[in-house]
Amino acid sequence: MDRDFRHEADAVLMRPIFERPKYFYPLLGFLLSVIAWAAYCYYLQFNLGLGVTGMNQPVSWGFYVTNFVFFIGISHAGTLISAILRMTQAEWRRPITRIAEMITVAVLGIGGMNVLLDLGRIDRVANVFMYGRYQSPLLWDATSITAYMTASALYLFIPLIPDIAILRQHATGWRGGLYGVLSLGWRGTERQQKILNRCIGFMAVLVIPIAISVHTVVAFVFSMTLQPMWHSTIFGPYFVAGAIFSGLAGLIIVMAVLRWVFHLQDYLQPIHFNYLGLLLLVMSLFWFYFTCAEYLTAYFGNEPGEMRVFWSKMTGEYAGYFWLMVMCNFVLPLPLLVWRRFRQVTGTVIASLLISVGMWLERYIIIVPSMANPRGDLLEKGHYTASYVEWSLMAGCFALFVLIYLLFSRLFPLVSIWEAREGREKTLEIVAARVERYKLGEGRLKEEQ
Amino acid sequence: MSRWGMVIDLEKCNGCEACAAACQAECNQPPVGESEARMGRKISWLKISEELTGKFPDLHRRMIPQPCMQCDDPPCVRVCPVHATYLGEGGIVAQIYQRCIGCRFCMAACPYTVKYFNWYNYAGGLPAAEQEAMNPEVSPRPRGVVEKCTFCHHRLLLAKDQARLQGNDPARAVYHPACEEACPAKAIYFGDLDDSTTEVARLAQSHRASRLMEDLGTNPKVYYLARKENHG
């Protein structure tokens, strides 16, 4: 049990677990104080009512619903991207799958929590289970998010088992006990490895449709109503594309931070940022395409109710948000992601930061302008300004995300050790054999000529 | 089975807002205070919008009282996750305050924006004298739930009880909501739309009659009578 981890390969991955980083307590204190302030603000809201927010009529949804859609969107980074990369056997996936999967699990909980923050009567949340009606898209959300949460947690845990077994060899005390239980008797036999691989493969296939369904039904919350600029068939795919887009941005930012904090430069190399940057570029183009399709259709149709919302975004009260969103999601990131020279760590991180802001704005200007400009000539326009309570709870959500990640980093390796080893030991041969086969094709081609 | 509906004659309405005042008193809608009202949190189940058409000096002004439209196919009912709002007896869209979880999905879905939310504990925060002056037939709403016009459903219950006491058929009971009673111009008509003998049923068939946002397919049971040239 007392074998020193420092003599092992991949020791840098185990260091944050066995050696407490010196910033651990200060950072923990800071995060907990932000969360404590947010909790106090929520206590006020719980006691007094949702009046402490800036919401009103007709803008009866605001920051909480925006954050719900935003965080659920970020959650698509993880499991979905990891599943696609695993299934296509992209070799470069190895150091990023776990980071991505952990983002999903952390952020999905926070996204779901925002719906609860938005409830006027959180004390009656059990009514959803006792009297739930499947006609309501909110129930579809609850179902699909719960399924995604369960699948993502399993999909995070299963590939973690061999790593926990590695940690078990080095850990003592409570950690030893914890790893002993969680490693589920893993000894790395051939049979166990086979079952593990099959489970991972099965979960990867299962997770993809669930992930797509999650953001589709999040979009359905809006598109199933008759409200102007919400009642649109494109919303499902538009939200899914936006989710993957913002999720990739979130993944790049988290990877860059972890790389710097935990000295993972050997694992998370510029090539990873380059590849993810390319994916981000594709999604940025997708996003632009969807946005054009959505707004052009509304504009050309010229339906009075929709046009009020449309112009409030183009030139009216929300024009600042709208054009900032276009800048952040498309205009500014495009050159950073197109040119190989900028598509390095710094360039992709700057693009990702811009996209995170842009995608949050997108969620905001989907929700608020439609509510502020209800259909009909008679109805008055509404306005919405978030209160300090809403801002504080949003800060609390981000702090909670960092906290979850910080605690995870102290318990489990951020890069899958066994998969990195497998990559080094086995894949070279496999990939070499694959390339040989390509050469074979070349040979046949010559013969035919 | 009755199908309760309302007809409002906009040419008779003089915009005095007596209906809204009567509605507030009858159904215990709490005053929310000036700052809350400025934020757009006023609770008035029967809201009155002003419509201006034309240009000075040929300006035409109309007041349009809007209770809940009591849709036959209500968008709010479709989205409620807990069955807190539903199409009740006589086609009245009802709200169960003790069931509502305050997600406000129904408010987001209602194209007429006639659902109201208790952002604070407005009713409970009123002074004791005002609490005592409340209508005992209508329960005040707690913080965090949605409320709306009920077509004075409590009066229907009373009318049915009365019919039972008098040995009549409660299903044929007739009643009148507070707004109709209060209207000095007699611009509001109320009754059973399915009973062809009622004035309401006759007026709803009038060539002057139209409904708000009919094209949405919500099938409202509140009709407006207007001058013919203002049609459509």
Nearest chain B CA: its distance from A197 CA (Å) = 40
Cβ of B120 within 8 Å of Cβ of A61? The answer is no
* Structure confidence at residue A445 (pLDDT): 61
Nearest chain A CA: its distance from B103 CA (Å) = 5
Q: Cα separation of A3 and B48, whole Å?
A: 79
Q: Cα separation of B3 and B68, whole Å?
A: 15
Sign for the pseudo-dihedral over CA of A12, A17, A21, A27: positive
* Structure confidence at residue A446 (pLDDT): 63
* Structure confidence at residue A90 (pLDDT): 83
Angle between the A190-223 and A235-261 helix axes, to the nearest 10 degrees? 130
* Structure confidence at residue A256 (pLDDT): 94
Q: Cα separation of A380 and A70, whole Å?
A: 28
Task: Assign B160 to helix, strand or coil.
Answer: helix
Question: What backbone torsions phi and psi does residue B117 show, to the nearest 5 degrees?
Answer: -120, 145
* Structure confidence at residue B232 (pLDDT): 46
Cβ of A121 within 8 Å of Cβ of B81? The answer is no
Nearest to A49 among B51, B109, B121 (CB): B121
Nearest chain B CA: its distance from A65 CA (Å) = 10
DSSP label at A15?
H
Domain that holds residue B161: 4-230
Kindly list the residues from chain A whose CB atom is less than 8 angstroms away from the CB atom of residue B112.
Answer: 376, 379
Distance, first Cα to last Cα, chain A: 64
Nearest chain B CA: its distance from A306 CA (Å) = 13
Number of independent structural domains in chain B: 1
* Structure confidence at residue B154 (pLDDT): 95
- CATH code for position B107: 3.30.70.20
- Kindly list the averaged pLDDT for each block of 10 residues, start to end, along chain A of length 449: 67 83 92 97 95 93 95 87 86 88 93 94 93 92 93 92 88 86 88 92 91 93 92 92 94 93 88 92 95 93 91 94 95 92 90 96 94 82 93 96 93 88 80 76 62
Nearest CA in chain B to A132: B82
ipTM of the prediction: 0.91
Could you state, in order of their start, the residue ranges of all structural domains in chain A? 5-224+386-448
Residue numbers in chain B where pLDDT is lower than 70: 228-232
Nearest CA in chain A to B50: A378
Cβ of A375 within 8 Å of Cβ of B41? The answer is no
- Break chain A down into helix, strand, coil percent, rounded to 5: 75, 0, 25
